[in-house]
Amino acid sequence: MEIFKSKSDLLNAIKNHKGPLGLVPTMGGIHKGHLSLIRRAFKENSIMIVSIFVNPIQFDNAIDLKKYPRNLTRDASLISEISDKIKIYAPNQEDVYGKKIKPKKYSFKKLDKVMEGIKRENHFNGVANIIEFLFKTFNPENVYFGEKDYQQLQIVRSLNKILRMSINIIQCPTIRSKNGLALSSRNKNLTSNEQSIAPEIYKCLLDVKKMAKVNSYEEIQNEVSSRFLKIKQCNLEYFTISNPKTLEEINFTDSILGNRAFIAVKIGDTRLIDNIELS
């Protein structure tokens, strides 16, 4: 398993590669969700890179940044179980941003003005900075993202157009635990009691999918709000049904089917997000 701390060393190692280059960007804390992306990317590309970089400028909370799991040895071991031919790029901050971080600002129209864009100021701008760096540095043919972070996925698609690049942004299904909870590096922060509560998020989304066939958006909103008010240690930050492309919230009179439901819940000190297609 090769781990590269320097972009120049990695570029030198792959300069003679033939066939498509795949990329899976991560911040580490590798779990089965990441591994599903990596496994697919490995099958579909002749060479692939997994980046592991905890990007400081996408955090709006210093405590959240400090708590984010970092264990490169463990992450590399899990990735090597898929293949020891995968290249891991695990740079320090200077290799990515230079001696001083000077974040670039982007305009994503309304994509970053809703949901997580409201709750996490400058988060998507930070995400876009690291993704642009990875895109321009390695110029991959295929890049893989999970549906759990659906808003991020749409931001990346927009960034691809802004940069006038023709990278294939590949959307992959959310990987869940047996109880339905979407896998996330943040799940480790949940206490045992909070872990028993967390599956209610996906159960709620499944019920929303059923209700979407017969109930109005207003009725669904009321039901979701009422449901989480009854659960101790739970704070519903938002629930919205939005257009899957523009992410604009639908009106109460609009048709629900064909859109997507998004939810963010804070359980104890941990924020969890999820979404579901309303087909």
Which of the listed residues 126, 141, 172 is the one where a domain comes to its end? 172
The two three-digit tokens of residue 140, written as one number: 């991959």
Assigned domain for 179 exists: no
Which of the listed residues 138, 172, 206 is the one where a domain comes to its end? 172
Q: Of 114, 9, 29, which is closest to residue 73 (Cα–Cα)? A: 29
Cα separation, 168 vs 171, in Å, equals 9
Cα separation, 211 vs 256, in Å, equals 10
Cβ-contact 93, 80 below 8 angstroms? no
Residue positions counted in the chain: 279
Assigned domain for 178 exists: no
Measured CA to CA in angstroms, residue 227 lies from 200, 218, 222, 236 at distances of: 9, 14, 8, 9
Cα dihedral 137→142→148→151 (10° resolution)? 60
Do residue 71 and residue 190 come from a single domain?
Answer: no
Q: Is the dihedral of CA 42, 86, 174, 163 positive or negative?
A: negative
Do residue 197 and residue 160 come from a single domain?
Answer: no
Number of structural domains in the chain: 2
Do residue 108 and residue 66 come from a single domain?
Answer: yes
**Whole domain around residue 114: which residue ranges?**
2-172
Do residue 252 and residue 151 come from a single domain?
Answer: no
pLDDT in tens, the chain (279 residues): 899 999 999 999 999 999 999 999 999 999 999 999 999 999 999 999 999 999 999 998 888 888 888 999 999 999 999 999 999 999 999 999 999 999 999 999 999 999 999 999 899 999 999 999 999 999 999 999 999 999 999 999 999 999 999 999 999 999 999 999 999 998 999 999 999 999 999 999 999 999 999 999 999 999 999 999 999 899 999 999 999 999 999 999 999 999 999 999 999 999 999 999 999
Assigned domain for 177 exists: no
The two three-digit tokens of residue 247, written as one number: 């992410």
Q: How crowded is residue 40: how many other Cβ atoms within 10 Å of its Cβ?
A: 17
Do residue 164 and residue 221 come from a single domain?
Answer: no
**pLDDT score at 265:** 98
Cβ-contact 23, 106 below 8 angstroms? no
Do residue 163 and residue 193 come from a single domain?
Answer: no
157 class by beta-carbon count within 10 Å (0-12 exposed, 13-18 middle, 19+ buried) = middle
Do residue 98 and residue 12 come from a single domain?
Answer: yes
Do residue 164 and residue 270 come from a single domain?
Answer: no
Name the phi and psi angles at 254, rounded to 5: -75, 155
Cβ-contact 42, 185 below 8 angstroms? no
What CATH code is carried by the domain that includes residue 258?
Answer: 3.30.1300.10
Do residue 219 and residue 270 come from a single domain?
Answer: yes
Do residue 158 and residue 41 come from a single domain?
Answer: yes
Q: Of 165, 184, 216, 260, which is closest to residue 28 (Cα–Cα)? A: 184
Q: Which residues are catalytic?
A: 34
Do residue 105 and residue 229 come from a single domain?
Answer: no
| Helix or strand run (H / E) with residue 192 | helix 192-197
What CATH code is carried by the domain that includes residue 67?
Answer: 3.40.50.620
* pTM, full prediction: 0.95
